[in-house]
Amino acid sequence: MSYQVLARKWRPKQFSELVGQSHVVKVLSNSLNEDRVHHAFLFTGTRGVGKTTIARILAKSLNCLEGVSAEPCGECEHCVAIDEGRFVDLLEIDAASRTKVDDTREILDNVQYAPARGRYKVYLIDEVHMLSTHSFNALLKTLEEPPDHVKFVLATTDPQKIPVTILSRCLQFNLRRLTPQEIGEQMERILAAESVQADAEAIALLARAADGSMRDGLSLLDQALAGGGRLEEAAVRDMLGSVERLHVHDLLAALARADGAAAMEVIAEVFAQARDLSVLLLDLAEALHRVALIQQLPDYRDDSRSDWDALVELAGHFDPEDVQLFYQIAITGRRDLVLAPSERSGCEMTILRMLAFQPGQAEPSAGVEAGGGARAGGGARAGGAAASPAPRSVAAPTPATERSNMPAQARSEVREPVRSAASGQVERRLTPENWHQVLGALKVNGSVRTVAGLLVVREVDLPAVSFNAAADDMMLITDRFRSALANALEAWLGSSVRLTISAAENTQLATPARIEQTEAERVQTEAEAAIEQDPVVRRLCERFDAEILRESIRPTDTRSH
């Protein structure tokens, strides 16, 4: 007999075997046992949660030779035929491939005829939302006055596309996504029955990767078992391209210490192992979510995680506001990875953005040194160095003594303080042009500085100061943030401030954060150009047919050399 995949072999044949849908099973069981079965059902939910499985069990319950009940025998001729997909009175229709009204009418024209063998004729229409408007109208006429011997079971992943006239004539059941714990427990039962030993962490990885779908989880389990032998954590991680939890912990520890070099080493190691860097940001966001829960909920505990104690320890090293900020940066950075020059550079910039806005951060470097590699056909490597001006951090002030190190364009944007002839004191001013410089001088914590870096000054007419922010960033503008920014501006300007922050239609605002990113990209480009023009690197490329690894070129501080 040919091999049968786990998702089919272990497909539930009774309501009692279903996982995670007790709310649906209870209603259907009561209806069947009391012989009060509606003529039309609609099952909604994501893929692989049991919509068509429940429909087939319902068809067995209605047509079992032992009688209508919530527990079909599973052994009679009708039950066996339904399980094998050859019961003539169970008509399974794929609406995605039969959207035309003629197809629907051809099917519904036979509704009036009595079942050939069973007690009821059951129409199972999968992905019903794919039907055309005319097909829905044809179906509606049948649903309004169906024959007593017909039951309709509709299944869909997108109920919003179904007309309300159809919805109102069906009993609707929303099948929920399964939890990793439910999927993992089912996998353990299957592995025990299949006599396969498995690491608990390997099962947990597969259960999380299933993303709420039992079918997807069993498909992944099938793939993991293809290697034979014991199901081990390392093999599953390799198959899924998962990031080691140790990597996430090391990255969190580096963020807590504001250690940029250690953070970049983690990313380099994940990249070298051919792991998905978007998964690294996803796992980092998930870990930050756990840290936030630990900080805010004293009684919260999740014993399903083997790294719980490590997360509890890491939570003690973070400010709660910074955790919220890092989480926002992580999910936004993951979303924007497709826009980055490369996945690695996008991931690194996301982490650097977190580090750039740490409280109490030291002044940025005045220069950079770029180290690059060249790869030869025989595996030889060559290194080079280049120097270029460093990007200015939003979090750093710009003393007058350092302005000579800035690019000419940046220097032109900095307005010199105005001195009063009478008192000789420096007058501090805020303008739309020097906002990114003023922000660097404000005494605010890391999270406030980061959110402020997403603003642009629209107008200054003290005490009124008006800012603009992109519409997507307005959710970060809290009352606490407004108060902190207003207090910092009042302390710096020496006068009262009344803030107004409104959404701007333009999404390409020249914010301090964007200015910093643009400058960082310029520095990276100059570093790459310097490596390409380096005589030693060029000779290596020519002699050994080497190739420059652009992703290995990183600007670094030159002041320590």
Q: Are 349 and 534 within 8 A, CB to CB?
A: no
Query: 162-175 burial by CB neighbour count: b if 16+ within 10 A, else e?
Result: beeebeebbeebeb
Q: Per residue in 344-377, pLDDT tens?
A: 999 999 999 998 875 444 343 333 333 344 333 3
pLDDT tens per residue, range 284-300: 999 999 899 988 887 78
pLDDT the model gives residue 507: 67
For residue 194, give the DSSP letter: T
CA 9 to chain centre: 32
According to the model, what pLDDT value does residue 333 have? 92
Q: What is the pLDDT of residues 453-501, one digit of tens each?
A: 889 998 999 899 999 998 878 878 888 888 889 999 999 988 899 999 9
Residue 20 tokens, joined: 């995670």
Q: Burial, 334: exposed, middle or buried (Cβ in 10 Å; 0-12, 13-18, 19+)?
A: buried
Mean pLDDT of the chain: 80
pLDDT of residue 396: 34
* pLDDT in the model for residue 478: 84
Question: Is the predicted pLDDT of residue 392 greater than 90, yes or no?
Answer: no
Strands 150-156 and 121-126: parallel
What pLDDT, on a 0 to 100 scale, did the predictor assign at position 391? 37
CB 386 within 8 A of CB 527: yes
> Could you give all domains of the chain from N- to C-terminal order, each with its CATH number?
6-174 (3.40.50.300), 180-240 (1.10.8.60), 245-356 (1.20.272.10), 367-561 (3.30.300.150)
Strands 40-44 and 90-94, bridge-based pairing: unpaired
- Is residue 383 predicted with pLDDT exceeding 80? no
Judged by average pLDDT, the poorest of 43-57, 213-227, 378-392, 519-533 is 378-392
Residue 185 confidence (pLDDT): 92
List the end-to-end C-alpha distance of the chain, in Å, as a whole number: 71
Percent of the chain scoring above 90 in pLDDT: 26
Helix or strand holding residue 501 (H, E)? strand 498-504
- The confidence band for 304, taking pLDDT boundaries of 50, 70 and 90, is low
The whole-number average pLDDT for the span 194-203 is 89
d(C-alpha 454, C-alpha 159), whole Å: 38
What's the average model confidence in pLDDT over 270-281? 86
Of 462, 514, 455, 503, nearest to 481 (Cα)? 455
Confidence check: pLDDT of 415 > 60: no
CA atoms within 13 A on the CB side of 366: 10
Single-letter residue type at 147: P
Across 114-137, average pLDDT? 88
Across the range 278-283, mean pLDDT stands at: 90
| Contacts within 8 Å (CB) and 24+ apart, 164-167 | 165/136, 165/140, 166/42, 166/128, 166/136, 166/139, 166/140, 167/42
Indicate if the pLDDT at residue 98 is higher than 80.
no
Per-residue H/E/C for 76-138: CHHHHHHHCCCCCCEEEEECCCCCCHHHHHHHHCCCCCCCCCCCCEEEEEECHHHCCHHHHHH
**pLDDT(96) > 80:** no
Higher confidence at residue 268 or residue 362? 268
State yes or no: pLDDT of 20 exceeds 80: yes
The residue among 552 and 30 whose pLDDT is bigger is 30
> Residues 327, 292: contact at Cβ < 8 Å?
yes
In the chain, the amino acid numbered 326 is F
Question: How far apart are the C-alpha atoms of 281 and 315, rounded to whole Å?
Answer: 18
Q: What is the pLDDT of residue 390?
A: 37
Backbone φ/ψ region at 430: left (φ over 0), alpha (ψ -120 to 50), beta: beta
Q: Which residue, chain included where needed, has tokens 């509704």?
A: 111
| Torsion over CA: 456, 461, 462, 464 (sign) | negative
Least confident span in 3-12, 100-109, 277-286: 100-109
What percent of the chain clears pLDDT 70, i.e. is strictly above it? 83
Structure tokens of 343? 């996945």
Check whether 279 has a pLDDT greater than 60: yes
pLDDT at 312: 87
Identify the bridge partners of residue 503 per DSSP, sorted by sequence position.
Answer: 469
Confidence of residue 410 (pLDDT cuts 50, 70, 90): very low
Please indicate whether residue 229 or residue 88 has the higher confidence score (pLDDT).
88
Distances (CA, A) of 486 to 190, 466, 482: 60, 11, 6
